[in-house]
Amino acid sequence: MSANDRSVKVRFAPSPTGRLHVGNIRTALFNWLFARHHDGQFLLRLDDTDSERSTDEFAQGIRDDLTWLGLTWDEEMRQSDRYVEYEKAVRHLTETGRLYPCYETSEELELKRRRQLARGRPPVYDRAALHMTDDQREEYEKQGRRPHWRFKLDHKRVVWKDLVRGEQSIDAASFSDPVMIRQGGGYLYTLPSVVDDIDFEITHVIRGEDHVANTAAQIQLFEALGAEPPQFGHHNLLVDANGEALSKRKGALSVAGLREGGLDPLAICSHAAAIGSSFPVEPRYSMEAIAAIFDFAKLSRAPARFDERELHHLNARYLHELDYSAVAGRLEEKGITGGEAFWLAVRGNIERFDDVGEWWQIVADEITPVIEDENFCEQASALLPAAPFDMDTWPDWTARVREETGAKGKALFMPLRKALTGRAHGPELKMLLPLMSRDKVVKRLSGERA
């Protein structure tokens, strides 16, 4: 089935047991981009069957993170609302002989596994439970044992065309029949996920390559429930700058942390879409622009390297080219009233958007000037043109100061920069000076805090 055979519908299925991290972002983004590229739908599925760890707070945090990133969804569902549908699937699979109870304890299963390995055999479940009599099951029940339930695989080769990896083939006989229901009743991931994918008509399942081995069993489960399997795509996973795997347990960066760190969502999405692919890592200025170039064929089979320094560098590049119209509202929220002239003056000198606050303070509030040569600054102050200042004021003023003092180059410009901004580096003073009052400039040249 190609993406065009029927309307594309994908899902992103986080568990609300924590906040999203960089690995989640990439999977969510790939699903969203694929859906938008094919004018399809994006479903947010909250896998909250783990009632002890799932919370409404984490669920809302996931929604907030996705919304901030621009990954809006067309539909939302929670697995905790769908137990009736899962029970129907269990009854069907039991009646057709594809789901069967097993009474071995974890210790007994581990002993079997060790014996098989010692004999040079693969540690595959021996299906002993299929040969139990009713009397044996009744005896286990009397002893207080509760079964776990396994899905009986057809021992055949399962083949599918992966969106990323091409044709894949797995011999189902090389795997144990997967457990679908835990001892005591809780569902594992696979059965609810497949039932949901069927009922919500998911056409493509896009996820990390760590799920490749599970795909054969899931395809058979779709078929056992009388449904056509979706197309699968398994993308490369993230490693850090040292080549080590990123994971939530290792404290990988969260979306909330990236946001609090002042990074912009489009820079994050531009970075996540490009790493581990042949796309150039460069800023893009709309989600539509990212979707337009996205192609699974460009993804590498090698792990994608996530370097936080590269992300920060990309974020700076993104801001340096950002139009005023894109930030006007954000500047107003910070109480910055300098308008487009201020933004164009400072954008090339910020790495995070929040850095604008420091430059606005230099323009509009008080700073302590750095005076290296009082006599030079006094002479410069006497030559300062009348207000109002414009883009010609700085070159005209510095030309007069050069003529009067003989100072050139760094000896001319650095004392003025330090006096006016308190810093040795920053935006072009040609653009910054017109944002300051003449009185403020005079006071700073005299060493006053202004």
Integer Cα distance of 8 and 181 in angstroms: 30
* DSSP 8-state class, residue 145: -
Q: pLDDT value at position 13?
A: 97
Predicted confidence at residue 240, as pLDDT, reads: 83
Q: Across the strands, what pairs with 166?
A: 162
State how far the alpha carbon of 406 is from the alpha carbons of 353, 376, 409, in Å: 39, 10, 10
d(CA 450, CA 445): 10
**Confidence at residue 6, expressed as pLDDT on a 0 to 100 scale:** 65
C-alpha dist (Å) from residue 272 to 16, 276, 318, 342: 22, 9, 14, 31
**Among 193, 213, 222, 93, which residue's Cα sits nearest to residue 150?**
93
Average the pLDDT over 379-389 and give the result: 93
Q: Is residue 250 predicted with pLDDT exceeding 80?
A: no
Distance CA 175, CA 220 (A): 13
Rg (alpha carbons) of the chain, rounded to whole number: 31
Give the full edge-to-edge strand order of the sheet including 179-181: 99-102, 148-151, 179-181
- Supply the pLDDT for residue 5: 52
Q: 142: which DSSP letter?
A: H
Return mean pLDDT, the chain.
93
Q: Are 316 and 281 in contact (CB under 8 A)?
A: no
In the block, residue with structure tokens 């568990």:
15
55 contacts 85 by C-beta, under 8 angstroms:
no
Q: Which residues contact 88 (CB under 8 A, 6 or more apart)?
A: none
CA atoms within 13 A of residue 367's CA, in its CB half-sphere: 22
Q: What is the C-alpha separation between 423 and 420, in angstroms, rounded?
A: 8
Mean pLDDT value of segment 302-321: 94
pLDDT: is 373 or 89 the higher one? 89
CA torsion sign for 427, 429, 430, 431 is positive
Domain 248-320 has CATH 3.10.580.10: no
Distances (CA, A) of 310 to 97, 246, 270, 305, 384: 53, 16, 12, 10, 43
Percent of residues, the chain, with pLDDT higher than 70: 97
Closest of 277, 164, 244, 180 to residue 212, by C-alpha? 164
Q: How far apart are CA 441 and CA 13, in angstroms?
A: 57
**pLDDT tens, 87-123?**
999 999 999 999 999 999 999 999 999 999 999 899 9
Q: In this predicted structure, what is the pLDDT of residue 184?
A: 83
Across 2-6, 408-412, 435-439, least confident range: 2-6
Instruction: Classify domain 9-83+188-237 by CATH number.
Output: 3.40.50.620
* CATH code of domain 374-445: 1.10.10.350
The owner of tokens 């004392």 is: 415
Domain extents in the chain: 9-83+188-237, 96-181, 248-320, 324-364, 374-445
Identify the band that residue 4 occupies on the pLDDT scale cut at 50, 70 and 90. Answer: very low
User: Which residues are 277's β-sheet partners?
Assistant: 299
Using DSSP bridges, classify how beta strands 41-46 and 9-12 pair: parallel, antiparallel or unpaired. parallel
Burial 256-283 (b: 16+ CB within 10 A, else e): eebbeeebbbbbbbbbbbbbbbebebeb
Q: Which long-range contacts (CB under 8 A, 24 or more apart) does 122-130 make?
A: 122/174, 123/176, 124/173, 124/174, 124/175, 124/176, 125/150, 125/176, 125/177, 127/152, 127/177, 128/102, 128/104, 129/100, 129/101, 129/102, 129/103, 129/104, 130/100
Region at 201 (left for phi over 0; alpha for psi -120 to 50; beta for the rest): left
Q: If you classify domain 96-181 with CATH, what class do you get?
A: alpha beta
Of residues 375 and 240, more confidently modeled: 375
Give the CA distances from residue 321 to residues 8, 131, 424, 431, in Å, rounded to whole numbers and listed in that order: 34, 69, 23, 16
Give the confidence band of 252 by pLDDT, cuts at 50, 70, 90: low
Separation between Cα atoms, residue 206 and residue 197, nearest integer Å: 12
- pLDDT of 292: 86
> Residue 43: which H helix or E strand, with range?
strand 41-46
The full DSSP string for 79-96 is: GGG-HHHHHHHHHHHHHT
pLDDT band at 1, cuts 50/70/90? very low
pLDDT the model gives residue 244 = 80
pTM: 0.88
pLDDT at 232: 98
> How far is 352 from 349, CA to CA, in rounded Å?
9
